[in-house]
A and B are shown apart, each in its own frame.
Chain A
Amino acid sequence: MLKKIIFITLLFVFYTNFSIANSAQLPVLSGVGGNFHATDMHNQAMQLDDYKGKVVILGFGYTNCADICPFTLGYLKQVYEKLPKDVQKEVQIVFVTIDPEYDTIEHLNKFISHFNQDFIGLSGKTKQQTDHIVKLFKAKYREIGEGVPIKAVRNVVQKKNTQNNVRLYDHSVTLYLIDTDGETRNIAYTGTPQQELIANITSLLPNKNSIKIENFKMKNAPKNARSTAAYGQITNTSNRDDILISVSSPIAQRVELHETTIVDGFGSMVHKPNQVISANQTLTLKPMSYHIMFMQLNQPIDELDVVDITLKFKYAGNVPIQIKLAH
């Protein structure tokens, strides 16, 4: 009966939605977070920017916390384990200790690993650096008890030491959702419904299947041509704008997206780096318009059977195209 009460209570707490988050358009929280230096639980110097390219969930706490920290890490463990394996590789859970004096690297490692081997514990090593990190994220902590007998503290993991007394703290319960560029995009806590947090994490990950490639073909070029072009359709099927950052191919020294424009009857080609392809829109590449320009060909085009091209998108990542040539 008691288990049922606990289960219903937890369910009630978990699924009460306090958040106004909108996973479709999570705004950057200006001035919240940013790069900092710390030491990880493997005793390696690191900085938060090392995780650029991954979605980071960052929280503060300490290993002697008997209430919210184990609860939060247990919550994150559940969320993390619900993510597909390939998504897990793109997500980093980070726990920053507010008690670097007690939470030695070794102990932090043991504590964090208890929840999940992929989670990372960080220590600012000094109170000054810890305070800097806490301030950066507009978080707070305060000491609420000093000289508390260690026996009175309900530990997740016992520390091997000679210390009989420890400090206890109050601290922010906020979890910071940081995008692949290192910018804080939302906050959550253990009461945030797990599916909501998962949706928010997913919304910040590159959508690798969002670009659709159709009808690509090469321009008919003379045998000894030093340059050529390719045409086709590039469709962004996602609900957010993407940016075609660059184009590459092994067949030429330089490969770029160009646009031909006619001014006063004269055509000119303009390099179009960082071309935005709006959500649910198609960029059509055709003669006298947008096209992929191959310059300084490595070998005559009629000697090739296939042309491999890689389009690099900001969110969709690398999108390969292969054009088969019929001679």
Chain B
Amino acid sequence: MLPISRHYLYAVKFYLALYFGLYAMGVFALSNTPIPKDHFSKKSYAQTLNHVASNVMQWYGQIIKNNTIKNHRENYPNHIQNIEIINAKLITEAGQPTTSFALNTRLSYLKEKTLKTQQFNEIFEFNLNKSNKFTRINRISTQDINPDIPLSGFTQDYYFQRHFAYAWMVMLDNNSSKILSKQNTHNANYQLDIGVKRYTGGLSSALAQRNIWMGQGEHLLRNISSSITHDNKIQLVLDIDWKGTNPKGKPSIAKIEQTIKLEKVGIFYKILTIKEQHLLPDIAPWEKLLC
């Protein structure tokens, strides 16, 4: 009897450990991947966000260390050093032509050689039927603050890279470039890996092939990480969620990782290479568990 009882005890220990391990992983994984409630219910959520965010990222990039931009610049102090986005919310109303992007930011600037910080609540208004550019900025509040740690890292490059990334999402959504110019994409080499399928070629042909394999859908940027390569180029790693319909008409999702190597040429980023692979989508907290 004794060995059998011990066997049961081992089993109990194993399943309890498995359960609590999975539970902890579940809590952790879910807390790390907040998905807006309406993300998958509104077809145009990601596409709208990509347009709007691309525009606002470009705007923030433009006003950092630049006092001479026309229109709306008067809403901000001069000599901006860093802008940190604390919170962002896309507000769309069914049937309304306008879209709003509400941002809560902290902004540091130099005044009489002293670094000061302000917290802003502002809303960018868009009419995407007419233009990709925001039409108005509504300042809700401005408040002087004294952060414990000075803002750093939220520079012009930080925002221009994000402008590029969201513009790239727009391009992938539409399979055409409205925001990225040919200067950005000329001679770019694209390596596409989707399961057993691999395609290597120029950007246009790779996007066409990608369209054939993936079908129609929308891209939601989850994370951007940036680094400088040994040959002094910029490397962006983009984590993207994709949702759409595959060529057979089936609903389809993808977790995409794109590694994009860029070269800064004047005021724009030139794409040198793109490597794309499709990973296991984050649909279950236990999916990375090894036993």
Contacts and interface: CB of A to CB of B under 8 A. Distances in A.
Interface stretch (A30-38, A118-126, A158-166): A30-38
B15 A10 contact: yes
A131 to B, nearest CB: 14
Q: Which of A2, A12, A29 has the most CB of B within 10 A?
A: A29
Contacts, number: 119
A32 B278 contact: yes
Contacts of B196: 34-36, 136
A32 B195 contact: yes
Interface in A10-67: 10, 12-13, 16, 18-21, 25-36, 67
Q: Which of B8, B195, B277, B283 has the most CB of A within 10 A?
A: B195
Contact of A18 (B8, B15, B249, B285): B285
Nearest to B278: A31
B248 A181 contact: yes
A29 B251 contact: no
A16 B23 contact: yes
Given A12-B19, A18-B22, A27 B252 contact: yes
Contact of A13 (B8, B19, B243, B246): B19
Contact of B280 (A138, A170, A173): A138
Contacts of B287: 172, 174, 187
B289 A173 contact: yes
A31 B26 contact: no
A326 interface: no
Given A30-B253, A33-B195, A172-B290, A18 B5 contact: no
A27 B249 CA distance: 11
A28 B22 contact: no
Contacts of B254: 29-31
B246 A28 contact: yes
B162 to A, nearest CB: 25
A206 interface: no
B8 A28 contact: no
Contacts of B246: 28, 30, 183
A33 B280 CA distance: 10
A141 interface: yes
12 contacts: A6-B11, A6-B12, A9-B15, A28-B252, A29-B254, A30-B195, A30-B253, A32-B278, A34-B195, A140-B288, A172-B290, A173-B291
